[in-house]
Amino acid sequence: MAGSVVKMLVVDDQKTMLVMVEQMLRRAGYMVMTADSGDEALGVLERECFDVVITDLVMPEMNGLEFFHEVKSKYPYLPVIMMTTEGAAESAVEFIQAGGSDFITKPIDDKKLVQKIERALVLSSSEELAALQQVMGLIKEACNGTESQVQTVLDALNKDVLDKEEARAAEVAIKRIGEVLKSIPVMIMTKESIRGVPDNDNKEQ
């Protein structure tokens, strides 16, 4: 994330914890937004782009694990760090096994939290690079392929493999490829039709 400000979303139903973590992150140079429930956080994620999400495990209505699964299904490459207590080892293991980036136990140590964030960002960048390479391979195939291959690329883009600006630009380009591919049968038919029309100039000769 060199050269850009890392944007964080912190989720916790306890106001004091929310404010404390927000202040820690701002002191470390991160841009921070907060939400006091999983439902509110999901709404924020639909409107804003984030580099990392930090969520508490124990929350009413939608707990941290439930919130994480919702995030993972919609934003598979978005790193999520879970805040837990020392007695929540089983939930922490379940979280990591399900694809969570990392967890940190309370009370939160600011230096340890920053280390975990930076590590999560590095791992996420590696995953995104691998996914981007896969998408570019699909694009290459689509250029010489069929309309269904173009749709495969569009589906990949819709899974947030790229950031929003890159995804929009790529989607426009791929849709243009799709239009070209759609027009190929029409172009062939047109050429065949032209071949079937008598050449009046030659006929007159």
Per residue in 73-87, pLDDT tens? 999 889 999 999 888
Residue 171 in this model has a pLDDT that exceeds 90: no
Predicted pLDDT of residue 188:
37
Predicted pLDDT of residue 16:
95
Predicted pLDDT of residue 148:
55
Phi/psi at 129 (5° precision): -65, -45
194 or 35, which is more confident? 35
Q: What is the mean pLDDT of residues 45-66?
A: 95
Q: How many CA atoms lie within 13 Å of 172's alpha carbon, on the beta-carbon side? A: 5
pLDDT digits (tens, 9 = 90+) for 63-74: 999 999 999 999
d(CA 122, CA 3): 14
Dihedral sign computed on CA atoms, order 70, 48, 129, 104: negative
- The whole-chain average pLDDT of the chain stands at 76
CB distance 58 to 47 below 8 Å: no
Q: Percentages helix, strand, coil for the chain, rounded to the nearest 5?
A: 60, 10, 25
Residue 2 in this model has a pLDDT that exceeds 60: no
The candidate with the shortest Cα–Cα distance to 41, out of 61, 23, 24, 20, is 61
% of the chain at pLDDT higher than 70 = 59
- List, in sequence order, the alpha helices (H) in 98-146: 110-143
What is the number of other CB atoms lying within 10 angstroms of the CB of residue 138? 20
Residue 179 in this model has a pLDDT that exceeds 70: no
Predicted pLDDT of residue 135:
58
CB distance 81 to 75 below 8 Å: no
For residue 59, how far is the Cα from the chain centroid? 24
Q: What is the mean pLDDT of residues 3-20?
A: 91
